[in-house]
């Protein structure tokens, strides 16, 4: 039976915004706007209770789904722990109360700037001040209901906003949030998207250092994102222990390997859809040769990495092994590449 660290379910592919960095905006002409059918959730409940966390998030805005609370209620009733990541635009007081009553245990609100001007430039029609006030009201509503959900602020760091990373940590502190995490804009399917990637250099390193200093000074939990690329055995999306289910039932090891497009036409984003959970049992999908081959490639890399660094002690021999390990890793990964759909992804380089 597959161990599941995180199960990602996409409630909706629709969204309230048209962010320039989002593939939904880029591929708007081919995009399928659909909501996950609540009646189909029964197909996923046995899988959901095996996961440590069920993340209700996809390419769209989860709160666009009119029955999101119904999904959360059914999942929590079955024994799952639910988290939602949102742009916050639809998070009014009524919605906050219904989400909390449904059993939501973790809300992450994503921003693209820590000043109103930068956030509005990267997320047109989103007001940062109004957004942060909605988060404050969500916390107040939780207190009234006697609920203790975790509330996080996610900063989508890009080359045009990296200077505001320290301000984002300070913003999280000012509103008393549980943590602040930096996330790279790492799904970059076009040359225009790639220009948004954070450039590793003095400017980005200085922003990261200042953010860490604000975190220490304010006592604000903060999770940084890597800026300098370095190939990983398994990427942070961890397709060996995580998987995502699209709003149309598509099963994929990673959200970056699934796009809800009507037709691909000239668009050729890397994909790895292993089956459809509305049409087949997950165990059949999981045991398919296609899924096994995909996981086998990552599995051998993970096993090598763990063996390479196992037992390295604080001694001269340990220091020698530690010095030699990166080059040994590089050679191994060159001879044992990640699955072909993952090879052009920045996540495999730790970004």
Q: 271-326 pLDDT, tens per residue?
A: 999 999 999 999 999 999 999 999 999 999 999 999 999 999 999 999 999 999 99
**For residue 104, is pLDDT > 90?**
yes
**For residue 267, is pLDDT > 80?**
no
**For residue 264, is pLDDT > 80?**
no
Which backbone phi and psi does 228 adopt, to 5 degrees? -85, 125
What is the DSSP secondary structure assignment for residue 337, as one 8-state letter?
Answer: P
Closest alpha carbon to 2 in 210, 288, 197: 288
Q: Tell me the pairing of strands 51-56 and 4-9.
A: parallel
Non-local (6+) Cβ contacts of 226 within 8 A are 184, 350, 351
**For residue 110, is pLDDT > 90?**
yes
Share of the chain above pLDDT 90, in %: 85
**For residue 144, is pLDDT > 70?**
yes
Higher pLDDT, 40 or 267: 40
- Mean predicted lDDT score pLDDT of the chain: 94
Q: Hey, what are 316's tokens? A: 């001269």
What is the full DSSP assignment across 241-299? TEEEE-TT-EEES-GGG---BS--TT--------EETTTS-HHHHHTSHHHHHHHHHHH
What is the full DSSP assignment across 303-334? HHHHHHHTT--SSHHHHHHHHHHHHHHHHHHH
- Residue 232 to residues 194, 330, 346, 351, Cα–Cα distance (Å): 20, 9, 10, 10
Angle at 222 between CA 216 and CA 226, to 5 degrees: 115
Non-local (6+) Cβ contacts of 279 within 8 A are 249
pLDDT value for 90:
98
Non-local (6+) Cβ contacts of 332 within 8 A are 301, 304
Mean pLDDT of 74-92: 98
Non-local (6+) Cβ contacts of 194 within 8 A are 188
Angle at 41 between CA 39 and CA 45, to 5 degrees: 145
Q: Which residues of 73-100 are buried (b: 16+ CB within 10 A; e: fewer)?
A: bbbbeeebbbbbbbbbbebeeebbbbbb
């Amino acid at each position: 039976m597959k161990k599941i660290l995180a199960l990602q379910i996409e409630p909706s592919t629709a969204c309230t915004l048209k962010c320039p960095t989002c593939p939904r905006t880029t591929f708007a002409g081919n995009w399928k706007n659909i909501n996950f059918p609540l009646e189909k959730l029964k197909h996923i409940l046995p899988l959901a209770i095996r996961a440590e966390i069920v993340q209700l998030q996809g390419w769209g805005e989860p709160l666009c789904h009119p029955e999101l609370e119904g999904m959360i209620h059914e999942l929590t009733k079955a024994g799952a722990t639910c988290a939602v990541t949102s742009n916050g635009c639809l998070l009014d007081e009524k919605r906050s109360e219904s989400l909390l009553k449904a059993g939501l245990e973790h809300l992450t609100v994503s921003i693209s700037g820590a000043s109103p001007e930068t956030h509005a430039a990267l997320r047109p029609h989103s007001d940062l001040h109004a957004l942060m006030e909605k988060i404050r009201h969500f916390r107040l509503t939780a207190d009234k209901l006697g609920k203790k959900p975790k509330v996080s602020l996610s900063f989508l760091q890009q080359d045009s906003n990296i200077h505001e990373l320290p301000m984002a940590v300070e913003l999280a502190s000012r509103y008393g949030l549980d943590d602040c995490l930096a996330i790279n804009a790492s799904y970059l399917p076009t040359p225009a998207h790639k220009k948004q990637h954070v450039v590793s250099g003095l400017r980005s390193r200085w922003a990261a250092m200042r953010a860490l200093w604000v975190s220490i000074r304010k006592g604000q939990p903060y999770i940084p994102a890597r800026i300098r690329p370095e190939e990983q055995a398994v990427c942070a999306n961890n397709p060996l222990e995580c998987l995502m289910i699209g709003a149309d039932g598509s099963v994929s090891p990673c959200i970056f390997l699934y796009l809800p497009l009507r037709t691909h036409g000239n668009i050729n984003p890397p994909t790895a859809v292993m089956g459809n959970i509305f049409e087949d049992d997950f165990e059949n999908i999981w045991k398919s040769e296609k899924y096994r081959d995909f996981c086998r490639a990552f599995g051998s890399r993970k096993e090598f990495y763990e063996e390479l660094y196992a037992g390295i002690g604080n001694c001269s021999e340990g220091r020698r092994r530690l010095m030699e390990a990166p080059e040994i890793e590089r050679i191994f990964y060159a001879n044992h590449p990640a699955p072909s759909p993952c090879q052009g992804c920045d996540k495999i380089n730790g970004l």
